[in-house]
């Protein structure tokens, strides 16, 4: 009888552990989907020339590290950076994550970007390809925001 009690106790514990692991995998998959949709929202805002729509996905103290520019810090500076692009160019962007990893309240997304900039004052269209890395942090309300955004050119 004692053997059966021990056996069933171990079985119950294993079932609980497996169940917890499955719940964690489902939560991580949900986070990956959410983070991927944030990337798509940022790309949509870029294509619409909506600097505020991009900046809202960054924390108040986020870092934007664009090539050949000083580091921008905070939502306002990030919005101003993008607005300066939209003031000068018609924009088109194709981008997406190739890899997203979540570990607790931190995540990263590694991706690609293809950008077309057409000067509003006339001139040749500019095309570039780049790779980027975003670090995101889960906020106290459960949402995800970018804390670091860095990219460099493939050209």
pLDDT digits (tens, 9 = 90+) for 66-83: 999 999 999 999 999 999
Q: What is the pLDDT of residue 155?
A: 78
Average pLDDT over all residues of the chain: 88
Q: What is the pTM of this model?
A: 0.82
Q: Which class for 49: exposed (0-12), middle (13-18), buried (19 or more C-beta within 10 A)?
A: middle
Residue 42, token pair as written in the block:
């940022």
Distance CA 111, CA 106 (A): 17
The pLDDT confidence band at residue 29, using thresholds 50, 70 and 90, is: confident
- Going along the chain from its start, the domains and CATH numbers come out as 2-153 (3.10.450.50)
Distance CA 106, CA 25 (A): 15
């Amino acid at each position: 009888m004692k053997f059966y009690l021990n056996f069933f106790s171990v079985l119950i514990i294993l079932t609980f552990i497996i169940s917890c692991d499955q719940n964690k995998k489902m939560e991580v998959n949900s986070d990956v989907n959410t983070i991927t949709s944030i990337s798509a929202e940022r790309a949509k805002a870029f294509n619409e020339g909506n600097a505020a729509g991009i900046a809202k996905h960054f924390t108040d103290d986020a870092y934007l590290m664009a090539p050949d520019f000083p580091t921008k810090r905070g939502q306002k500076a990030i919005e101003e950076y993008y607005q300066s692009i939209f003031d000068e160019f018609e924009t088109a962007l194709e981008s997406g994550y190739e890899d997203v990893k979540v570990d607790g309240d931190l995540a990263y997304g590694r991706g690609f970007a293809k950008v077309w900039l057409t000067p509003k004052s006339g001139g040749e269209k500019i095309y570039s390809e780049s790779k980027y890395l975003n670090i995101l942090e889960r906020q106290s309300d459960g949402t995800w925001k970018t804390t670091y955004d860095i990219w460099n050119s493939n050209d």
